[in-house]
A and B are shown apart, each in its own frame.
Chain A
Amino acid sequence: MTTAGIKLRKLSRSESKGLLWGLFFISPWLLGFLGFTLYPLIASGYYSLTRYDLIREPVFLGFKNYINLFTNDPHFWNVMYNTLFYVGFSVPLGIGAAFLIATLLNSKIVGRSFFRGIIYIPSIVPAVCSAMVWLFLLNIQYGAINAIITSLGFQAIPFLSNPTLAKPSLVVVSMWTQGAAVVIFLAALQDVPRSLYEAATVDGANAWQKFRNVTIPMTTPVILFNLIMGFIGAFQEFTVPWLLTQGGPMNSTEFFAIHLYRNAFIYLRMGKASALAWIMFSIIVVFTLILFRTSARWVYYGGEE
């Protein structure tokens, strides 16, 4: 055992042999982790301290990339604002929508299995395909939604081509792919003991009170999980915004991951891109820690004493 407070003891010959076999057995994963996760992680940390363009040898700069990003970069703070706007709206709205849909799908409605399947389908559609669908739904010139709007005699709405509307439009698009969260919520809802609802009924609780005082508290661990996964995913969002707006109009949808990609592979600023990656990583870590720290106040674990 290596847990804190317990003294390490020497392994016996058979235990050492067992450990070696164990390492040998997990070596496919271990090698993959070392080669494709740990090494890139360390390498990007090093590159973030250099000027590196993928072709020439890196030149060590110290923390210059970080300092320049925070003090001189013409886009950094705009990118940060765009990303926080997107995360701040898409995650809570997405989770709220997923929770409500899961609640509806947990009730006894006709065609429940059919609706459960339908809700999950967007999550298994490749992001590129769904982006193309949304492009031809929302485009001001050729979009299906605008075709309906204009056929009624109204002006087309520039969902994706106006700097003010583009970010909210992408938030709406993000809510379309909540199938995975819905499935997880559904599993949690089905796990809420019936006895609690029965007790609430006996106490005279109405439907809203049961939802507020039984359903939500009992599913808070899953809400926390979906919140964390949602935050991480939203901070890293790339494919759909890139395909729909490529960061425009007027940089209004230039999110962190898009800015990182642009610097790495279009401007060949791999050192700066690595610094951006580490800043993004740090922000995600801080957000996750805050969520965990505050979770003691609002997350209920049935197994806790």
Chain B
Amino acid sequence: MKKLNRRDFLKMGAVASASAVLAGCASRPEETMAPETGGTEQEPAVEEAPQTGDGVVVTYWYSWGNLDPAMDAIMATDEYKTAMKGNTLEYKGAVQSEALLTAVAAGTPPDGGSNFDYPNLWSRGAVLEVTDLVGTSAVVKKDDIAAGLWDGSFYDGKMIGVPGIEGFNWWGMNINAKAAEEAGLDPNNIPLTWEGLLEWHEALTKFDDAGNLLQFGLDPWDAMASEPDFAATSWGFKWWDEATKTFDLNNPLMAESYDVMGQFIRMVGPDKFAGMRQVEGNGTWGAAYNAGVQTMIMEGYWHPGETQIQQPDIAQYNRSTWAPVPESRKGAKIMATGPHFVQLFKDGAHPNEMFLFAEHLLSGAAMDIILKEVGWIFGRLSWLATVDKDTYPGLRFYIEATEQVTDWIVGRRCPIHWYVNDQSTELREKVYRDEMTSKEAVEELQARALAEWDAQGLGE
């Protein structure tokens, strides 16, 4: 065998590098164009998408890691194989948004994606409008999907993704009935106002002799309650008007929400709450509740199932009811919804094949698996009617709530929702740490939102 000398090695290295660069510059095979246009920009001319059944590989990225066990089970079923018509799904879970954005910027996104920032991707023109595609579907039907979910699928009058995977009612107050009983409270009579809840919070919060926190009632800004949508709906105003694209954050009611919700933090201590969040932020959604340290939490339809799967010994004591409102709005039953989607990327190669899988996620076979493996439900009415409402403790409340809700919104609609959320988190912390008043905080919040909107060129 010929011995490889240094010069040969360097030559081979150079040739390999040059080849790699050339290969990287080559166009992708099987490039097809999208069937419909979407977003804010004019799309290039539409070409005929390949007929399904060609046996292509369809790429699907999912933002979180929760779905992985369900996906394994779904892809092992005969129903999946039939639905995919000979195509193969390449699934990747727990994909960070940086990875997705880089792929989008490079023009090589996956065919479909879920649980990313839907309105943001849409408003910047990264994903396709699917109104016409869904219009041809025998599975994704308006009259079989909960109204809020269906309506929430549209932005600027266009459907921005195929609703599915999970999605139903948000914002229920979930309590640990055992902890409530131990504190002398009646878990069948949970207060529905902030004022009443504060009394429960005090009763459920325990310190040791040295003043260290052992257990607490409610972190009012934990999980779903953290977002400005929640405070606005609880106090009865809209911070973001989608039709006029205007903000109303500098609102006395927003300031009142900071003051009222801040009392829960002050009672326990801001440092102790921040410490809890640091651990929870690095764990899972609702970890403090699962650990039995937090005894009340504002979440949504996923809470009963997820808690059962993650921590059954806590889930057995879970009770769910309406999220609180101020005394002045007593009787209002607030909820939000927002579907998760399979969004089809503008530069994806196989939108039609991706759509087959998006449709399959609405099948009973797939949704049964997701309910069992992850604990999530989706508001497809014909399927929902088959679900045992007592599958998980507290699930019945979320399923039956639709009939009783009085104030309903579709959440997370503002394209700079997460920017506003971050600023709100920072400013309200300044309020409960007494570094500014709530009035100053909401004035500042409004100013920052307007500046960011302009800076991002979203108003143009």
The interface bits of chain B over 253-296 (1 if a CB of A lies within 8 angstroms of the residue's CB, else 0) are 00000000000000000111111111101100000000001000
CB–CB A156/B433 < 8 A: no
A150 at the interface (CB under 8 A from B): yes
The interface bits of chain B over 116-153 (1 if a CB of A lies within 8 angstroms of the residue's CB, else 0) are 00001100111000000000000000000000000000
* Complex Cα gap A156–B210 (Å): 8
Across the interface, B10 reaches (CB within 8 A) one of A25, A153, A244, namely: A25
Most chain B beta-carbon contacts within 10 A, residue among A139, A244, A268: A268
Across the interface, B212 reaches (CB within 8 A) one of A55, A150, A245, A268, namely: A150
CB distance from A83 to the nearest CB of B (A): 17
CB–CB B14/A53 < 8 A: no
Taking CB as reference atom, which chain B residue is nearest A30? B17
CB–CB B11/A24 < 8 A: yes
The interface bits of chain B over 5-48 (1 if a CB of A lies within 8 angstroms of the residue's CB, else 0) are 00100110110111001000000000000000000110000000
Across the interface, B271 reaches (CB within 8 A) one of A31, A162, A265, A268, namely: A162
Which stretch, B97-105, B175-183, B191-199, B394-402, touches the partner chain A? Answer: B97-105
User: Taking chain A's interface residues, is the majority helix, strand, or loop, or is none over half, making it mixed?
Assistant: loop
The interface bits of chain B over 402-427 (1 if a CB of A lies within 8 angstroms of the residue's CB, else 0) are 00000000000000101100100010
CB–CB A74/B271 < 8 A: no
A269 at the interface (CB under 8 A from B): yes
CB–CB A55/B271 < 8 A: no
Across the interface, B210 reaches (CB within 8 A) one of A56, A150, A244, namely: A150
CB–CB B455/A265 < 8 A: no
* Complex Cα gap A269–B456 (Å): 7
CB distance from A302 to the nearest CB of B (A): 35
* Complex Cα gap A160–B278 (Å): 8
* Complex Cα gap A210–B7 (Å): 51
B452 at the interface (CB under 8 A from A): yes
Chain B residues whose CB sits within 8 angstroms of the CB of A154 once the complex forms: 210
Number of A-B pairs, beta carbon distance below 8 Å: 135
Across the interface, B279 reaches (CB within 8 A) one of A68, A142, A262, A267, namely: A142
A249 at the interface (CB under 8 A from B): yes
* Complex Cα gap A201–B265 (Å): 64
Chain A residues whose CB sits within 8 angstroms of the CB of B101 once the complex forms: 54-55, 265, 268
CB–CB B282/A161 < 8 A: no
Across the interface, A250 reaches (CB within 8 A) one of B10, B416, B426, namely: B426
Taking CB as reference atom, which chain B residue is nearest A141? B275
* Complex Cα gap A28–B17 (Å): 6
CB–CB A248/B274 < 8 A: yes
* Complex Cα gap A68–B448 (Å): 13
Across the interface, A244 reaches (CB within 8 A) one of B18, B40, B278, B455, namely: B278
Taking CB as reference atom, which chain A residue is nearest B105? A54
B65 at the interface (CB under 8 A from A): no
Taking CB as reference atom, which chain A residue is nearest B457? A51
Taking CB as reference atom, which chain A residue is nearest B458? A53
Total A residues in contact with B, Cβ cutoff 8 Å: 49
CB–CB B21/A141 < 8 A: no
Taking CB as reference atom, which chain A residue is nearest B24? A35
B451 at the interface (CB under 8 A from A): yes
B444 at the interface (CB under 8 A from A): yes
CB distance from A270 to the nearest CB of B (A): 8
CB–CB B444/A155 < 8 A: no
B429 at the interface (CB under 8 A from A): yes
The interface bits of chain A over 179-203 (1 if a CB of B lies within 8 angstroms of the residue's CB, else 0) are 0000000000000000000000000
CB–CB B124/A269 < 8 A: no
* Complex Cα gap A140–B270 (Å): 11
* Complex Cα gap A148–B116 (Å): 41
Q: Give the contacts of A215-252 with B (CB-CB under 8 A).
A: 243-246, 248-251
Chain B residues whose CB sits within 8 angstroms of the CB of A142 once the complex forms: 279
User: Taking chain B's interface residues, is the majority helix, strand, or loop, or is none over half, making it mixed?
Assistant: helix
CB–CB B14/A28 < 8 A: yes
CB–CB B274/A53 < 8 A: no
B356 at the interface (CB under 8 A from A): no
CB distance from A239 to the nearest CB of B (A): 13
CB distance from A61 to the nearest CB of B (A): 9
CB distance from A38 to the nearest CB of B (A): 14
A295 at the interface (CB under 8 A from B): no
* Complex Cα gap A35–B17 (Å): 12
Chain B residues whose CB sits within 8 angstroms of the CB of A250 once the complex forms: 426, 429-430, 433, 435
* Complex Cα gap A56–B458 (Å): 11
CB–CB B14/A141 < 8 A: no
CB–CB A161/B18 < 8 A: no
Across the interface, B429 reaches (CB within 8 A) one of A132, A156, A249, A269, namely: A249
CB–CB A140/B444 < 8 A: no
CB–CB A139/B418 < 8 A: no
Chain A residues whose CB sits within 8 angstroms of the CB of B121 once the complex forms: 55
Chain B residues whose CB sits within 8 angstroms of the CB of A51 once the complex forms: 455-457
Taking CB as reference atom, which chain A residue is nearest B16? A28
Taking CB as reference atom, which chain B residue is nearest A244? B278
CB distance from A283 to the nearest CB of B (A): 23
Q: Give the contacts of A19-42 with B (CB-CB under 8 A).
A: 24-25, 27-28, 31-32, 35
* Complex Cα gap A59–B124 (Å): 13
* Complex Cα gap A56–B122 (Å): 11
Further contacts, 7 of them, CB under 8 A, given A35-B21, A250-B430, A265-B97: A27-B13, A56-B124, A56-B125, A161-B277, A249-B270, A267-B416, A269-B456
**B interface residues (Cβ-Cβ under 8 A, vs A):** 7, 10-11, 13-14, 16-18, 21, 40-41, 97-98, 101-102, 104-105, 120-121, 124-126, 208-213, 270-279, 281-282, 293, 416, 418-419, 422, 426, 429-430, 433, 435, 444, 448, 451-452, 455-457
Interface CB pairs A-B, < 8 A, 9:
A27-B18, A55-B121, A56-B125, A59-B457, A141-B293, A146-B212, A156-B272, A158-B275, A161-B270
3 shortest A-B CB distances, which residue pairs? A140-B275, A161-B274, A158-B271
